[in-house]
């Protein structure tokens, strides 16, 4: 019961942070970093750039994780270049929120770095 409340609270806080980070005017650099982190996590992307004016996201999606070796320098990773258009940034970012436990722990760490709230990371 407590874990479902924690999951709901993390997701609610993330949605609030996303709403706060999507102003009508220019996006602050700190929030752009947040947006890139959310997109990298959701799409397993190696490189993400957001053009807020044209409503475009360009990224390099990692095609196969089996070629990745954290013990060596990875000179070649098969990637796919993607250029996405979004109508509404807030809705687009909310659709990128994943509900698995690993993602919830990632979101809790994002929340603790963007807000002064420390959410416990227990989501079993």
Q: For position 124, what pLDDT does the model report?
A: 43
pLDDT tens-place string over residues 2-18: 567 889 999 999 999 99
Q: Which residues of 44-74 are buried (b: 16+ CB within 10 A; e: fewer)?
A: ebeebebeeeeeebebbbbeeeeeeeeeeee
Q: What is the pLDDT of residues 4-55, one digit of tens each?
A: 788 999 999 999 999 999 887 888 888 999 999 999 999 999 889 999 999 9
Give the model confidence (pLDDT) of 94-111 as tens digits: 999 999 988 999 999 999
Do 19 and 103 contact (CB within 8 A), yes or no?
Answer: no
Give the pair of three-digit tokens for residue 50: 């957001």
pLDDT at 118 over 90: no
Q: What is the pTM of this model?
A: 0.83
């Amino acid at each position: 019961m407590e874990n479902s409340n924690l999951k709901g609270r993390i997701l609610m806080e993330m949605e609030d942070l996303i709403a706060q980070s999507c102003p009508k005017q220019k996006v602050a650099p700190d929030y752009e970093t947040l947006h890139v982190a959310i997109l990298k996590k959701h799409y397993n992307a190696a490189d993400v750039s957001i053009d807020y004016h044209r409503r475009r996201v360009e990224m390099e999606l990692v095609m196969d994780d089996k070629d990745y070796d954290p013990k060596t320098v990875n000179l070649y990773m098969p990637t796919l270049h993607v250029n996405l258009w979004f109508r509404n940034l807030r809705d687009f970012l909310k659709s990128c929120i994943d509900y698995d436990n690993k993602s919830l722990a990632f979101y809790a760490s994002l929340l603790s770095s963007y807000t002064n709230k420390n959410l416990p990371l227990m989501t079993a």
